[in-house]
Amino acid sequence: MNRYKSNIKKNDKVKIITGKDSGKIGKVIKVDRDKGRVLVENINIIKRHTKPTAQNRQGGIIETEAPIHFSNVMLMCNKCIKPVRIKMLKLDDGKKTRVCRKCDEQIDA
């Protein structure tokens, strides 16, 4: 029941800061908060050798994305076009929003 606290959500633009894909930018497809991992589009591509099955009649080598730990990615700000840390800001109506620490731009629209 370990739930990791992450500021990264689905459809966020992130930059990979460590590992074999360091420096690449991609969009988050899926976030697994229980394991603390994110699945990023076209990042951490692995080759899986599969046998033919009912769903996959062909079989062979299939390339798919593998999840990476969320500490290895950093959220990209749309205004400063840089990887940034964020702070949480409470709005007047009581909602919380994510804000860039460098330029104070709201990340959640």
Separation in Å, CA 74 to CA 21, 42, 54, 58, 84 = 13, 16, 39, 37, 7
Cβ atoms 86, 96 nearer than 8 A: no
Domains of the chain: 13-76 (2.30.30.30), 84-109 (no CATH)
Its pTM stands at 0.82
Residue pLDDT, tens place only, 3-57: 777 889 999 999 999 999 999 999 999 999 999 999 999 999 999 999 999 988 8
Per-residue confidence (pLDDT) for residue 5, from 0 to 100: 79
Quickly tell me which residue has 């990264």 as its tokens: 8
Host H or E run for residue 29? strand 25-32
